Amino acid sequence: MDTDTTNLRQFKKKNDKKDVLFDEFNKKRAGREVNKMMWIALGIVAFVLLAAASFIGARLYFTNKAYESVSIVDSTEFFISTGSVVKRFGNYFVVYNSDGIKCIDYKGEQIWNEAFQMQKPLTDISDGIIAVADYNGGTIYVMNEKEPLGRIDTGMPIRKFKVASAGYVMAVLDNSSNTPIYVYNTQGEEMLYFNTTMKGYGYPLEIAISDNGILGAVSYLNVDKGSFYSSVGFYNFGKVGQNYQDCLMSSHRYQSALVPEIRFAGNNKAVAVADNRLMFYSGDQMPQSNGEILLSNKILSVYEDDKFVALVYDSDDSEHKYMAEIYDYDAKLKDKMYFDIDFSDMFFDENRVVLYNSEEIVIHTIGGVDKFVGNYDSAILAMIPTSNLRRFIIVTPDEIQTVEFE
């Protein structure tokens, strides 16, 4: 049967035209959808960038905005006896003298009390652990924020001691022939010890212990043929160190230098301060040198925490009395600040450094500006940061005050 395809061909041509028009319509619609989605995406990106810029701007504003005043928002009557020392201790503070030590919360409530008789009690604090002992005494008391943990009877005069946040205590003792160094747990059990002599290691000037108690460091003073040098030795008290004599993992020598300051930051970083240089180390088993900075100015004092190290000098600027260089543990200079107060204490709080004496306060953002420089009406015995950056606890001879900077 013959089939007439004329109409079919015409139908196809007609549909081809429609298809072209339909395709063009879809392309235009797709283009509009793509444009719409693009504008929506750009709008979202712009909103996020604006929000981020606003957040950063607000943060910079509040970071650099100076406080104009300080006011007392709460106070509790609390009397500190003359001759007592007050120190920050975790979420509390401690008060001690020759008769004992007690831990107090910010409402004036006593958490614990430890009685003793000492000529001149010395303390070391690591996070929520504190150790107390008398120079030349034979007992070290160890407490945390909640309770006394135990006492360590050394049987020999104590020269130096440091406590780890894990609870271990490293102590330099003394006897007639050598200077032994012991590591104890909080129950007073000897974990290990090694002897030092002037002929062998030198005289230990300072010691440090890592937070977990695995690593120890000792700076030694040595005399050789009329000249002197210091060495910094790192010890591993764990399984790795058992394969080395006296657990000594590495030693670093510094000619014509004294190293009276050494500290661990956490478990794998440390800093040592000599009279002519600043030395950084890193390593969780065998610490090695991680940077060294030569110093030309005389260091007046050193303050550290787990993030920063501050070296205080006489100012090189005639308009100010003092200058502080602040480094991180990667040996990078983060700030150089100037100030004029004869401070009794300095500490780091977040990205700020706080200095104070009995009547003056300086709060400075690291790498930024002075947030507050001014006087305080009450005699300050201790100044303690809180979780609120604008609020501090100030302990005076007769009150515990919560203050706010505005």
Q: Are 396 and 382 in contact (CB under 8 A)?
A: no
CB atoms within 10 A of CB 188: 15
Overall average pLDDT of the 277-287 stretch: 96
- Whether the predicted pLDDT of 36 surpasses 90: no
For range 212-229, the mean pLDDT? 92
Distance CA 95, CA 90 (A): 13
Looking at the DSSP assignment, which residues form a beta bridge with residue 304?
309
Mean pLDDT, rounded, for 192-205: 85
Tell me if the domain spanning 300-406 has CATH number 1.10.10.10: no
Res. 53: pLDDT tops 60: no
Is the pLDDT score of 17 beyond 60? Answer: no
Query: Burial letters for 362-395: b for 16+ Cβ neighbours within 10 Å, e otherwise?
Result: bbbbbeeebbbbeebebebbbbbbeeebeebbbb
Percent of all residues in the chain with a pLDDT value above 70, rounded to a whole number: 85
Angstrom distances, CA of residue 218 to CA of 161, 227, 231, 305, 307: 11, 20, 8, 18, 21
Q: Which residue has the tokens 């034979």?
A: 138
- Give residue 197's pLDDT: 78
Question: Alpha-carbon distance 51 to 8, whole Å?
Answer: 62
Kind plus residue range of the DSSP H or E element containing 240: none
Does the pLDDT of residue 23 top 50, yes or no?
A: yes
Percent of the chain past pLDDT 90, that is, above it, reads 77
Instruction: Answer whether residue 334 shows pLDDT above 80.
Output: yes
104 CA to centre of own chain: 23
**Taking the chain, what is the end-to-end CA distance rounded to the nearest angstrom?**
101
Q: What is the mean pLDDT of residues 121-145?
A: 96
Provide the mean pLDDT of the chain: 89
Which two three-digit tokens encode residue 324?
């502080």
For the chain, the structural domain boundaries read 26-61, 300-406
Q: Is the confidence at residue 55, as pLDDT, over 50?
A: no
Residue 3 in this model has a pLDDT that exceeds 70: no
What's the Cα-to-Cα distance from 93 to each of 229, 238, 324, 333, rounded to whole Å?
Answer: 39, 32, 26, 31
Residue 6 has a pLDDT of 43
Lowest mean pLDDT: which of 40-44, 52-56, 189-193?
A: 52-56
Confidence of residue 220 (pLDDT cuts 50, 70, 90): very high
Q: Do residues 390 and 361 make contact, with C-beta atoms less than 8 angstroms apart? A: no
Residue from 244, 232, 248, 312 nearest 280 by CA: 232
Query: What pLDDT does residue 20 have?
Result: 57
Beta strands in 225-367 (DSSP E): 227-236, 248-255, 261-265, 269-273, 277-282, 288-294, 301-304, 308-314, 322-328, 333-339, 345-349, 352-356, 360-365
Q: What pLDDT, on the 0 to 100 scale, is given for residue 38?
A: 66
For residues 69 and 58, which has the higher predicted lDDT (pLDDT)?
A: 69
More confident residue, 23 or 85: 85
Contact of 166 with 147, CB cutoff 8 Å: no
Rounded Cα distance, 103 and 123, in Å:
13
pTM of the model: 0.82
Find all residues with CB under 8 Å of 371, minimum gap 6, and list them. Answer: 65, 66, 67, 352, 363, 364, 365, 405
Question: pLDDT category, 8, cuts 50, 70, 90?
Answer: very low
